[in-house]
Amino acid sequence: MKTAIPFEFDNHDARIKYYGLMLERDLNNLPRFPLPAGYRFVFFRPGDRDAWIEIEISAKELSDHGQGVEVWNRYYGGNGDMLTDRMVFIENEKGEKIATATAYYDVIHSDVCIHSGECTHSDEDADGRSSGWLHWVAVRREYQGKGLSKPLISHVLGIMQKLGYTHATIPTQTTTWLACKIYLDLGFRPIPENAVSNREGWRIVRALTNHEALGNFDAAGIDEILMK
């Protein structure tokens, strides 16, 4: 994919300086994108944990199965019943799970949570809105670029809306800049506080995507993008 600067980056590129980014949008006037032929949506069922981990590893969100188990337990451990109407997979014609995303809530992590697994959650943001989180979006590496991300995200946003949420938040990072572009295409915008605190990160995304929604950010130069 051509970028706004004369340098090619992978869609998950560790050479890019890391900044945590946060985007949000209201869940009204949601875009709809149909799945390409040969694919279908299915909900999580008991026993799908390892399929989720394999997708996240393939998408470079996780490094190995051990880390996957740790992350799964941190976010989803003990919540299997809840996932049956929140965690979505895309299956191919063979019934293989090749993409996933979850209509979740804000898990508030403290040191106690991370080490004990005893997490609390909130369904309201600071403004009192019913706020859900678009969680752990990933497409297997070999299926990226096949038009699956936007149907997956729009489908899960619709699930959030049916669950009663009026607002959605998505955490991401500069190293997955192409995912950031997709979120912007779908109407997500930088959370104002994050736009200030991590402005340098948004300048990097502006440089890599030249997205019109980031017109208030000047594009970073190549020396500001690359890790030293």
pLDDT of residue 185: 97
pLDDT of residue 123: 53
Which residues, including other chains, have CB under 8 Å from residue 70's CB and lie 6 or more apart? none
Q: Is 18 helix (H, G, I), strand (E, B) or coil?
A: coil
With 0-12 / 13-18 / 19 or more C-beta atoms within 10 angstroms meaning exposed / middle / buried, residue 66 is: exposed
DSSP 142-199: GGTTSS-HHHHHHHHHHHHHHTT--EEEEEEEGGGHHHHHHHHHTT-EE-HHHHHHTH
pLDDT of residue 110: 28
In the block, which residue shows the tokens 């990933």?
A: 138
Q: Is 106 helix (H, G, I), strand (E, B) or coil?
A: strand
Going by C-alpha positions, the residue among 89, 188, 76, 170 that lies closest to residue 131 is 170
Superfamily of domain 36-169, CATH level 4 = Gcn5-related N-acetyltransferase (GNAT) (3.40.630.30)
Which of the 8 DSSP states describes residue 219? P
Q: Where are the domains of the chain?
A: 1-21+172-181+192-228, 36-169
pLDDT in tens, the chain (228 residues): 444 465 789 999 999 999 999 999 999 999 999 999 999 999 999 999 999 999 999 999 999 999 999 999 999 998 888 999 999 999 999 999 999 999 998 654 323 233 333 344 445 544 444 889 999 999 999 999 999 999 999 999 999 999 999 999 999 999 999 999 999 999 999 999 999 999 999 999 999 999 999 999 999 999 999 998
